[in-house]
Amino acid sequence: MTEAVKDEKLSDENYALMQAQFELMGGLLVKLPPIGKFIERIERAETVGPIVDPTLYRDAMGNLENIKRLARAFLGVQQEVARQIAESERGKPR
């Protein structure tokens, strides 16, 4: 990160835009099927892929690893959004 980016102030407009975007992304993530199950399928592919189709596994592995890393990051967000929804339905934070 450059100094110019690090020292940049966040305008009120950008703050409001980011807040709206976070809410939108959270709403989309919570509607996805469980991301943990998606990660499990990737891990199964990593286990059996080299045996079942070594060429396909080799060709897809780099992209699959990147997708798995993103999925792990999104998993925490999906879980947090689900917690917040459950809290709001109960009417109080934890």
78 neighbors 32 (Cβ within 8 angstroms): yes
The pair of three-digit structure tokens given for residue 48, joined into one six-digit string: 């059996």
Sorted by where each begins, the domain ranges of the chain are 3-90
pTM score over 0.75 = no
What angle do helix axes 12-31 and 54-90 make, rounded to 10 degrees? 110
Residue closest to 46 by CA, chosen among 25, 60, 32: 60
Please enumerate in sequence order all residues whose Cβ is within 8 A of that of 78, keeping only pairs 6 or more positions apart, or say none: 29, 30, 32, 34, 35
Per-residue pLDDT band for 44 (boundaries 50, 70, 90) equals very high
The alpha helices in 1-94, defined as continuous H runs, are 3-6, 12-31, 35-52, 54-90
Per-residue pLDDT band for 29 (boundaries 50, 70, 90) equals confident
